[in-house]
Structure 1
């Protein structure tokens, strides 16, 4: 959308206009905002397109797509024309008054969200809605009589077209409303359409392998799954033939059950990804599939799409067979059990132990070889536990363990093997960081006593930084800064390589239960010998990849927003109390990260302090609707 609207400022030829953009072009023609000249469309003088931001006082700011506007354009509240935060709009310039150019919204070209989430608040004698996301006050399409019957702080989902109430989610004082708020903010839903549920149920609970004579029967091999202790959906299972040096990576064959444009597929495409909360997962597929017939559960025959990868003595893949098969997982392990097994503390009788330990040794050699071109980031993931009241019970940071590494290296092999089979399809790309972010990283590192220079070789520079960080015992913190400086990995129909992993080709093959990208990839791989089906699957692939990138970010934001809400409820009970923290950000505003008995909460500070400095912070205020915790530094601790 941005590229399309920006092209109108210099002239856009008709042949380059996509079908999805025609409706917007017709609207622009109707309101006489564009002119066609010699088969090119131009945005008329006085009009500007861009993305709308709205401050808490109701003033709008338009970030123009036209590069000639160096500063955002101010839009008075009365000139917003019903537009909402994040909308892409057409605006008309108004009379210029220093110090800032102003504009008025003419039309909303693309709504950021169809709905908003608000809570009711009494302002004077009137009950109004206040948006959860940015505290903007909105007049609701409901009678004051009906609004006054609701408790103040009632959380509502409203239609952005007319501010009509769509759903009552709960009340702010109830911790059970947090998940509903986080989901509604990004227009996610938990309940599946009836058609998707009925389709999922129709596949039953068991696989009869006699019904699949064209599949390779591998049920005699001792596969196992290795997942978190609370996992309910099992995407992948592994087996290693140590005599032939063959690694079998079996992935749930979801595409056998989910056909393109079926009821399940339409919903999965809309969701894009499963969303994981501390207490529950909201799956991409109906649970009748994700936790049942598709899941590679132990002691069950299951359909799988499998890579059998044969390695030579130099750990090079000399054969990569892709097989539609039936497997029978012999055991379900969790990560802790495998870690204990690898340490010799957990006894696992039988043939799985005979191949699992040799496979671990092999994957560690694979990892060592991979890291000559890629990176090993020591990251910690925040885990939160909730009590029976849906409030925080405990938090902890978890790092990667040997069992995680074993599975990761196997999955990387399969993902890389799948990518090598594609010329066009769906790739997972990760491009190097741009120079501006690298310079910011170097400034942050200098404050930590790590001097580094960018001589153009990013791989060498990052490796040197990590080595110095390990010496200073701040590796996890520095790795977090390095990751923040890099670009985000994204999906694309063409390969541009994966900088972080050091791979020329990479994709996502191993999680079709929880990622739509992997499901689509399975279909593409199966259709490689059928040009007609292959071309059909490629229709709109660029737009789909772009949408998956958005959906992936949203799934992450939903999970983070939920945890922020839980932290805010905890902080509201601890106003005035002091806790140990460290400074996580100090660019525009200092943000501390809680590092006490409870860990992980973000606290926005009124004072400035250098990054990673250990401090004692007093909680001074909490805003439950926006889940924002405010604090001040009361002591700087010795390192």
Structure 2
């Protein structure tokens, strides 16, 4: 019955019909079959396969010009619904009480420009059942608004349901009843404390995001069974496949504050005069067994989350900072990828295996950069035993990088803003982090290992998880080229094959230069970010389509299993299908891992996006908080983007602010999208993307994470 109904409703000749008409078309005979028909129609509707209109006629969504999707309500009152058809625009008076994250049913049509527009006809599911926010008062009634500014909902709390929470206390509210006018009733289920307490601002955002913080009890119990050190002799005797590399000169290079050290490196020359590069990655899969509580929780989290004042780890600190971390002067289990590389940077041989290492030096990026770039003799003397190897590593890294760029790989300069916090979690400064030799060295070696493992596993034709990156759309590239032209880069691309190298020429011109001033660096950051935004989003999947950004035919993530679940899964797959170990007790490991890879790819891509949104939102919030201390300050920035409601200006320290057209009292400005500028109707004054402007910081709204500027003048 089910298949017959779907086949009929999906046929080209079908039009919406009531059950009696469907009954006749299906040639059904009696009341029993009619009852079964109605039940099946209702079941298909509940499952979201079909729907019915106000006349009781059933059809697929497309036949009724209906679509399902998640709504996103914007500050301007309008909304977009993300559907299989793409984004559908909803005017404010057609939202019908839906709030961001709700699953809605939309009736759509094409406007006169051929774009989808529609109205919400049904709220299928309220996806917001709990909000986090501060208590306030409205006409003496207690209310809570979510700290997630996308949720345009006013929740009223009765006095008996406040749990003694006071005004400005951050609380968790369970919504008990929704009303059509974007209001709801709710009750407080947890009180966290006053919003001005140190760190509670970030804590509130974490709680609102849904990122898990505390580890479940079954995970805590499992942690207690894991040793805090390894008995190397016993392990080597029990498993002869594990190689003993404890005497090898192996080091780690990480940030000064890093505690989860998951990669170590070594370099020497072999008898053929080629480089012998070793990349050694913490063997997390030895401790986190497939299907264990630890594994389930790690998959649920997907990734560690790095916030301005804390890290939310994927694994408990006993693992991430302890037995799995490749700490100095202690034995640790690793997955090794050793590569023979010729002097042109070609990997001509490799070996992937399990080993035990002993990290001889816990190096930092600052120390290594002091030796390689700053020529600090005192530090060179302190590490005399590894300085020659570091010089060779730097030479090899440059060779690998040049080879990668030559094949068309993009080289995005890392100029991320770093927030300096005081003991109370307040921002005292914002500095731009520059990627120097030590950081580039580690990046190149990890890229080489990731690519080598991916290629080796691909040849085996077994289940595997790839890191893939598609080509950007023609529309995005056209827009990028137009904007680059405004910044003085006249890039001509005759065909798509030439695109990577042409864009790479722009990126190479942004190379870090010690002589660049803050104005030049800020412009570089903007161009970098602009080019990154034009790219497709990299993701995980079980099918290999290559990595456009790296110009790689085959790529994976192997080198960070302490903080990324895909890397942990890759280690298991290597052990199962390459090294011949039993990672799971099932009838068919091939089928089991094929299913696992599919789910883990989707889950890891979702959790990666969730982490990125939270990280960005926390940084933006802290920037607004920092800017609020400088209201009235006159400063300088670049005009970086133009919208239909205002222009955005980015200061040299990466803080971005909005100048609304409504606040530009000197004239009425028209937007000229083609040339990336606004033009005054009376005075014909022009403000264009790339212009340097003197601005005044007018306001900083923490609730909206929004900073407002006023243009003082255009600089010469």
- Per the normalisation by structure 2, the TM-score is 0.77
Q: Which whole-Å deviations, capped at 9, do the CAs of 1:218-267 have from their partners, x for residues lacking one?
A: 11111110000010110100111224521110000000000122111111
Q: Classify 1:275/1:580 alpha carbon distance in 2 versus 1 (closer, same or farther; 3 Å).
A: same
How far apart are 1:416 and its partner, in Å? 0.4
How far apart are 1:74 and its partner, in Å? 5.8
Q: Say whether 1:612 aligns with 2:639.
A: no
* Pick aligned residue for 1:510 from 559, 563, 578: 559
Q: Say whether 1:485 aligns with 2:534.
A: yes
* Pick aligned residue for 1:294 from 324, 327, 341: 324
Q: Structure 1 residues 310-319 or 294-303, which shifts more?
A: 310-319
2:64 corresponds to:
45
1:573 corresponds to:
629
How far apart are 1:170 and its partner, in Å? 3.4
Determine if contact 1:62/1:75 at 8 Å carries over to the other structure. Answer: no
Q: Structure 1 residues 160-169 or 550-559, which shifts more?
A: 160-169
How far apart are 1:10 and its partner, in Å? 5.6
2:616 corresponds to:
560
Distance 2:100 2:288 in 1: 36
1:254 corresponds to:
284
1:601 corresponds to:
655
Distance 1:469 1:388 in 2: 35
1:104 corresponds to:
121
1:388 corresponds to:
423
Q: Say whether 1:583 aligns with 2:606.
A: no
Distance 2:307 2:87 in 1: 42
Determine if contact 1:54/1:60 at 8 Å carries over to the other structure. Answer: yes
* Pick aligned residue for 2:706 from 601, 625, 628: 628
* Pick aligned residue for 1:459 from 488, 500, 508: 500
Distance 2:41 2:385 in 1: 62
How far apart are 1:407 and its partner, in Å? 0.8
How far apart are 1:498 and its partner, in Å? 1.3
Q: Say whether 1:65 aligns with 2:83.
A: yes
How far apart are 1:321 and its partner, in Å? 0.7
2:480 corresponds to:
441
2:45 corresponds to:
28
Q: Say whether 1:216 aligns with 2:243.
A: yes
Query: SS of the residue aligned with 1:173?
Result: coil
Determine if contact 1:33/1:47 at 8 Å carries over to the other structure. Answer: no
Q: Say whether 1:410 aligns with 2:445.
A: yes
Q: Which whole-Å deviations, capped at 9, do the CAs of 1:585-612 have from their partners, x for residues lacking one?
A: 22454222232xxx23221222564333
Distance 1:571 1:232 in 2: 31
Determine if contact 2:142/2:156 at 8 Å carries over to the other structure. Answer: no
How far apart are 1:567 and its partner, in Å? 2.0
Query: SS of the residue aligned with 1:523?
Result: helix
Query: SS of the residue aligned with 1:195?
Result: helix
* Pick aligned residue for 2:603 from 523, 527, 547: 547
Distance 1:149 1:33 in 2: 47
Gaps of 5+ in 2: 1-6, 13-39, 53-57, 178-185, 662-677, 679-686
Q: Say whether 1:333 aligns with 2:363.
A: yes
Aligned positions of 1:132-531 closer than 5 A = 132-134=147-149, 138=153, 140=155, 142-147=157-162, 149-159=164-174, 162=177, 163-213=186-236, 214=239, 215-244=242-271, 245-343=275-373, 344-345=375-376, 346-347=379-380, 348-373=382-407, 374-420=409-455, 421-422=457-458, 423=461, 424-456=463-495, 457-466=498-507, 475-528=524-577, 529=580
How far apart are 1:269 and its partner, in Å? 1.0
How far apart are 1:632 and its partner, in Å? 1.6
Q: Classify 1:27/1:134 alpha carbon distance in 2 versus 1 (closer, same or farther; 3 Å).
A: farther
2:30 corresponds to:
none
Distance 2:550 2:65 in 1: 47
Q: Classify 1:372/1:66 alpha carbon distance in 2 versus 1 (closer, same or farther; 3 Å).
A: closer
Q: Which whole-Å deviations, capped at 9, do the CAs of 1:97-126 have from their partners, x for residues lacking one?
A: xx9753332421x83x55332332322232
Q: Classify 1:537/1:8 alpha carbon distance in 2 versus 1 (closer, same or farther; 3 Å).
A: farther
How far apart are 1:178 and its partner, in Å? 1.6
Determine if contact 2:632/2:696 at 8 Å carries over to the other structure. Answer: yes
Determine if contact 2:105/2:120 at 8 Å carries over to the other structure. Answer: no
Q: Classify 1:189/1:168 alpha carbon distance in 2 versus 1 (closer, same or farther; 3 Å).
A: farther
Q: Classify 1:320/1:619 alpha carbon distance in 2 versus 1 (closer, same or farther; 3 Å).
A: same
Q: Classify 1:369/1:92 alpha carbon distance in 2 versus 1 (closer, same or farther; 3 Å).
A: closer
Q: Structure 1 residues 583-592 or 392-401, which shifts more?
A: 583-592
How far apart are 1:548 and its partner, in Å? 1.5
1:19 corresponds to:
none
Distance 1:556 1:209 in 2: 38
Give the superposed CA RMSD. 3.3
Query: SS of the residue aligned with 2:253?
Result: strand
Q: Classify 1:277/1:592 alpha carbon distance in 2 versus 1 (closer, same or farther; 3 Å).
A: same
Distance 1:632 1:115 in 2: 38
Determine if contact 1:55/1:136 at 8 Å carries over to the other structure. Answer: no
Determine if contact 1:303/1:325 at 8 Å carries over to the other structure. Answer: yes
Determine if contact 1:425/1:524 at 8 Å carries over to the other structure. Answer: yes
Q: Classify 1:93/1:552 alpha carbon distance in 2 versus 1 (closer, same or farther; 3 Å).
A: closer
Distance 1:464 1:60 in 2: 40
* Pick aligned residue for 1:116 from 131, 136, 161: 131
Query: SS of the residue aligned with 1:482?
Result: helix
Distance 2:8 2:305 in 1: 38
Determine if contact 1:8/1:41 at 8 Å carries over to the other structure. Answer: no
Distance 1:554 1:487 in 2: 17
Distance 1:56 1:48 in 2: 23
Query: SS of the residue aligned with 2:630?
Result: coil
Determine if contact 1:527/1:534 at 8 Å carries over to the other structure. Answer: no
Q: Classify 1:84/1:446 alpha carbon distance in 2 versus 1 (closer, same or farther; 3 Å).
A: same
Q: Structure 1 residues 234-243 or 162-171, which shifts more?
A: 162-171
2:649 corresponds to:
592
Q: Which whole-Å deviations, capped at 9, do the CAs of 1:265-302 have from their partners, x for residues lacking one?
A: 11111111111123321111000000000000000000
How far apart are 1:444 and its partner, in Å? 0.9
How far apart are 1:483 and its partner, in Å? 1.7
Q: Classify 1:426/1:197 alpha carbon distance in 2 versus 1 (closer, same or farther; 3 Å).
A: same
